[in-house]
């Protein structure tokens, strides 16, 4: 059902939501593109070879497990805060000590409740176990 036309504007469905397609910014007609078929193939091949970013991997892992949208938003936000707390260091370079520092800082300096701290822990555990 992707590419449904309504009221003269083309739309697509992403995760059950209708998203209108953006008009071309290069002045190209979407049907008669000026790109050659070879360059389109190279573009698709190049996109497939690139590894998705970490937060996109988290979103994909959450969506394949059919978690709710609110859980996805919350986990992505906590993981982003965790990474920013440690100066944008990649999670593969961090250990349990960094996780403890982050959770302790939440409790001591930001004075979050125990349930909020537990939610942050669950997001980080999901990151390390599933992604």
Domain residue ranges of the chain, discontinuous segments joined by +: 54-130
- Two structure tokens written together for 83: 């990474």
Q: Summarize pLDDT for 6-35 with one digit per residue, the tens.
A: 555 555 666 666 566 665 555 545 455 455
Across the chain, mean pLDDT equals 82
3-state secondary structure of 105: helix
d(Cα 71, Cα 119) in Å, to the nearest integer? 10
Decide which of 1.10.150.130, 3.40.50.1980, 2.60.40.10, 1.10.10.60 is the CATH code for 54-130: 1.10.150.130
d(Cα 55, Cα 75) in Å, to the nearest integer? 10
Q: Summarize pLDDT for 50-83 with one digit per residue, the tens.
A: 889 999 999 999 999 999 999 999 999 999 999 9
DSSP string for 4-48 = -EETTEEEEEETTEEEEPPPPSSS--SSS-SS-HHHHHHHHHHHH
- Does residue 82 contact residue 126 with C-beta atoms inside 8 Å? no
What is the number of other CB atoms lying within 10 angstroms of the CB of residue 78?
21
d(Cα 90, Cα 88) in Å, to the nearest integer? 6
So what's the pLDDT on residue 50?
84
So what's the pLDDT on residue 49?
74
């Amino acid at each position: 059902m992707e590419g449904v036309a309504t009221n003269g504007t083309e739309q697509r469905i992403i995760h059950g939501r209708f998203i209108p397609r953006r008009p071309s910014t290069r002045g190209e007609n979407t049907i008669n593109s000026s790109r050659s078929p070879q360059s389109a193939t190279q573009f698709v091949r190049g996109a497939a070879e690139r590894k998705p970013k970490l937060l996109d991997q988290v979103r994909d892992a959450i969506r394949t497990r059919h978690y709710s949208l609110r859980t996805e938003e919350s986990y992505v936000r906590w993981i982003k805060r965790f990474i920013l707390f440690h100066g944008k260091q990649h999670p593969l370079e961090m250990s349990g000590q960094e996780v403890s520092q982050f959770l302790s800082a939440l409790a001591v300096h930001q004075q979050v409740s125990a349930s909020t701290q537990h939610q942050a822990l669950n997001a980080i555990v999901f990151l390390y176990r599933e992604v």
